Amino acid sequence: MHRIRILEFLRSREDSDVTEIAKNIRVPEVVVRSEVERLQKDGFVIVEGDRIKISERGIEELHRHVKGI
């Protein structure tokens, strides 16, 4: 569930960092950091330094799970 919330948040921004994501989706940073690592391994997000952005594959994943996008 956190994965989809993180992807939704990143879709609305050009890029973000773990602290900003955690604050906005109200999830502890430790959880967000762990989920971002998993999302990166799956190719759903791109991590450049401390900045995170959604990839094309991440957008496709959102379309599969969330209706109305």
Residue 61, amino acid: E
Domain segments of the chain: what residues? 2-65
| Structure tokens that stand for 14 in this block | 């050009």
Domain 2-65 architecture = Orthogonal Bundle (1.10)
Binning pLDDT at 50, 70 and 90, where does residue 68 land?
A: low
CA-based end-to-end distance of the chain: 17
Tell me the helix, strand and coil percentages in the chain, rounded to 5.
60, 15, 30
Q: Are 58 and 45 in contact (CB under 8 A)?
A: yes
Q: What is the pTM of this model?
A: 0.90
With a cut of 90, say whether residue 69 has pLDDT above it: no
pLDDT tens string 15-49: 999 999 999 999 999 999 999 999 999 999 999 99
Tally the residues of the chain: 69
With a cut of 90, say whether residue 66 has pLDDT above it: no
